[in-house]
């Protein structure tokens, strides 16, 4: 019996789909197999490369282990990698770069997993994830007062080792969160409570080791001054895979003084914050006073108020801190019984998880994961009291918002905008970090929408032309690179966010990218784009 054309067409369509689907799977399996063979061959070393596929029982655990933002760990949020490589030797990174490039896979490299937009460990296209969890060696040279730090080490591990090896006489100026990885933190700038005394973490770099697109390892001596400049604030992942940093360790006093004082609006917080803007960046460089804002319950109309925490770190004893506060900021009323003297390394536990043992700095797994959105601003002129009151009215409308205001001044005023890619130096009173933090995926749309509206409302109070941002607080709302667009269009797209992160340094970063990675192998939604003609200049 002959089949009618109405039956034949669907059957042919089905057979064609099966044929191409099977062919596609076969091609993918062949490509994946070729990649595995390339990795196992490892022309750079005979040391076996640890590699995991989705068929391995530990694959999901490894993938989720240091991914901090739950927005990128939900079933529908992301594509998982084809392979995860956990190098134990520098040659493993070289092979990962060469084989991924040879077989057409994107490469993502994760250090601490704190990339708030997930760009270091997720992708929309097939990719290989290199997780540097095994790259954690820290070698302290007391005579030089330096340290070689592998890219997978955490800030907490660096703080602990610097203090432990030096009998608490040396430290390192970087961020507050001890689980942050050093590779990304330092390569984007990196600041914390020592920023006024010593500047950024990236300002302490004196050498580095990096694998570029050709699979070779370069140091400061061999990479050239342009690439060395670019990786110290411009994001090393734009140019290669950072293996390790050599940094200066800095002197810290045997005793530091810490304190935290909270004030609500009803307790005069508005006047205190207003005054803080005129003194925080002008105080003695040994004094750091950062602000943390949250919403608290109140008996006032609306039932909510703003609570402001003044967090102190002083390199010295409490007597001298009290003298300096009486001279410069008596309105705050800091009292001796509100201060505590401790070792510098202990202050990192105090600010992060008060009451926990110092060994917390070694614990990479204790941090609670949550859904997270972060934005940033820089303030160059004090906000008026009426402006602050307007900010409070909008701020209490959020479910669980937070802001951190980090004062600059001191050493930051002494380094030019072009010394490194990080340009936000003299003239910036403080940095603002906006934090949205929630635990239920169903709240994501509402939380992110509120964050965007609050950020937009702050425009009148912050830097302009451009409205500056901080590359370590990645924000894809600022713009993204398009797929399958011309080189010229890609550059224009990147300039929209690049000028905010790097100001006029963006153009120099593009030139470096064009020289060291002209094929744009190291890329993500906010990576520095190459321009072919710039690389030939």
Q: Which residues are catalytic?
A: 473
Do residues 417 and 501 lie in contact, with contact meaning Cβ atoms separated by under 8 Å?
Answer: no
> Phi/psi of residue 308, each to 5°?
-115, 125
Q: Which pair of tokens denotes residue 142?
A: 């007391």
Helical H segments across 426-504, by residue range:
444-457, 487-502
Q: CA-CA distance, 33 to 403, in Å (whole number)?
A: 48
> Environment class of residue 371 by beta-carbon count within 10 Å: exposed (0-12), middle (13-18) or buried (19+)?
buried
> Phi/psi of residue 355, each to 5°?
95, -10
- Would strands 287-297 and 339-342 be described as parallel, antiparallel, or unpaired? unpaired
Largest CA distance in the chain: 103
Sequence-distant (6+) residues with CB within 8 A of 19 are none
| Full DSSP string of 84-96 | EE--SSHHHHHHH
Q: CA-CA distance, 363 to 178, in Å (whole number)?
A: 9
Do residues 122 and 79 lie in contact, with contact meaning Cβ atoms separated by under 8 Å?
Answer: yes
Sequence-distant (6+) residues with CB within 8 A of 429 are 277, 280, 281, 379, 380, 381, 382, 407, 408, 409
> Phi/psi of residue 233, each to 5°?
130, -15
Do residues 435 and 400 lie in contact, with contact meaning Cβ atoms separated by under 8 Å?
Answer: no
């Amino acid at each position: 019996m002959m089949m009618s054309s109405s039956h034949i067409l669907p059957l042919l369509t089905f057979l064609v789909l099966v044929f191409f689907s099977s062919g596609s799977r076969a091609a993918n399996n062949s490509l994946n197999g070729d990649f595995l063979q390339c990795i196992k061959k490892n022309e750079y070393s005979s040391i076996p490369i640890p590699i995991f596929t989705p068929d391995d029982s530990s694959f999901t655990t490894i993938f989720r282990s240091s991914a901090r933002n739950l927005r990128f760990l939900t079933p529908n949020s992301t594509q998982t990698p084809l392979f995860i490589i956990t190098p134990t030797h520098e040659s493993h990174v070289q092979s990962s770069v060469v084989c991924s490039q040879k077989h057409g896979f994107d490469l993502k490299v994760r250090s601490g997993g704190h990339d708030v937009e997930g760009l270091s460990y997720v992708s929309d296209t097939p990719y290989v994830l290199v997780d540097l969890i095994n790259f954690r060696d820290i070698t302290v040279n007391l005579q030089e007062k330096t340290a070689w730090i592998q890219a997978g080490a955490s800030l907490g591990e660096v703080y602990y080792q610097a203090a432990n090896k030096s009998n608490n006489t040396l430290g390192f100026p970087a961020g507050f969160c001890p689980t942050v990885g050093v590779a990304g933190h330092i390569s984007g700038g990196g600041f914390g409570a020592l920023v006024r005394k010593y500047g950024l973490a990236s300002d302490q770099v004196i050498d580095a080791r990096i694998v570029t697109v050709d699979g070779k390892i370069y140091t400061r001596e061999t990479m050239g001054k342009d690439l060395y400049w670019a990786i110290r604030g411009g994001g090393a992942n734009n140019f290669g895979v950072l293996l390790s940093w050599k940094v200066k360790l800095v002197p810290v006093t045997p005793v530091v003084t810490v304190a935290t004082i909270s004030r609500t609006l009803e307790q005069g917080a508005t006047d205190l914050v207003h005054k803080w803007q005129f003194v925080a960046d002008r105080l003695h460089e040994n004094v750091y006073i950062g602000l943390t804002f949250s919403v608290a319950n109140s008996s006032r109309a609306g039932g909510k108020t703003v609570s402001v925490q003044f967090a102190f770190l002083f390199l010295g004893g409490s007597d001298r801190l009290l003298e300096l506060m009486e001279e410069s900021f008596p309105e705050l009323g800091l009292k001796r019984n509100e201060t505590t003297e401790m070792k510098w390394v202990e202050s990192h536990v105090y600010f992060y998880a008060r009451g926990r043992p110092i060994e917390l700095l070694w614990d990479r797994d204790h941090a609670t994961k949550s859904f997270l959105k972060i934005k940033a601003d820089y303030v160059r002129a004090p906000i008026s009291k009426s402006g602050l009151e307007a900010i409070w009215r909008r701020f209490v409308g959020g479910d669980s918002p937070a802001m951190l205001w980090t004062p600059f001044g001191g050493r930051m005023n002494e380094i030019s905008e072009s010394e490194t890619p990080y340009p936000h130096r003299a003239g910036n009173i403080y940095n603002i970090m906006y934090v949205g933090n929630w635990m239920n995926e169903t709240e994501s749309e509402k939380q992110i929408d509120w964050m965007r509206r609050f950020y937009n409302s702050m425009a009148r109070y912050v830097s302009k032309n451009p409205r500056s941002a901080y590359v370590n607080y990645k924000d894809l709302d600022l713009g993204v690179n398009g797929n399958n667009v011309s080189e010229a269009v890609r550059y224009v797209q990147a300039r929209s966010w690049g000028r905010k992160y790097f100001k006029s340094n963006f153009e120099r970063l593009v030139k470096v990218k064009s020289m060291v990675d002209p094929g744009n192998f190291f890329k993500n939604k906010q990576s520095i784009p190459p321009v072919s003609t710039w690389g030939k200049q």
